[in-house]
Amino acid sequence: MSRVKGKRLSPDFKARVALEAAKGAKTTSEIASEYQVHPTQISQWKRQLLEGLPGLFQSGKAQKVPSPEELTAPLYEEIGRLKVEVDFLEKKSKQIKG
């Protein structure tokens, strides 16, 4: 997890730093000093940026971002399933006890 002075770094910040590193106008050390981020971290962000760029230009394949409902539905299903199991086990344990 990347931090500067105890704060989480935003994706926008990471993108800005990675883009500056990709431009090559400054050295990684200069950028690291300017933004107070370790040079290795900048290199990782730059690599992620460059690896992800081709995907932005793929025709006909828009990346679908799942809705919150799509993300949470399986979790609620699992909660329901576990609740049924707990209720069943509680009932059975009471029957065994007496």
pLDDT in tens, 21-71: 999 999 999 999 999 999 999 999 999 999 888 877 776 555 677 788 888
Burial (CB count within 10 angstroms: exposed 0-12, middle 13-18, buried 19+), residue 49: middle
Residue 47: Cβ within 10 Å count: 13
Q: What is residue 59's predicted lDDT score, i.e. its pLDDT?
A: 67
Q: Contact 64/55 with Cβ under 8 angstroms?
A: no
Q: Is the pLDDT of residue 79 over 90?
A: yes
- Distance of CA 30 to CAs 35, 41, 84, Å? 9, 13, 58
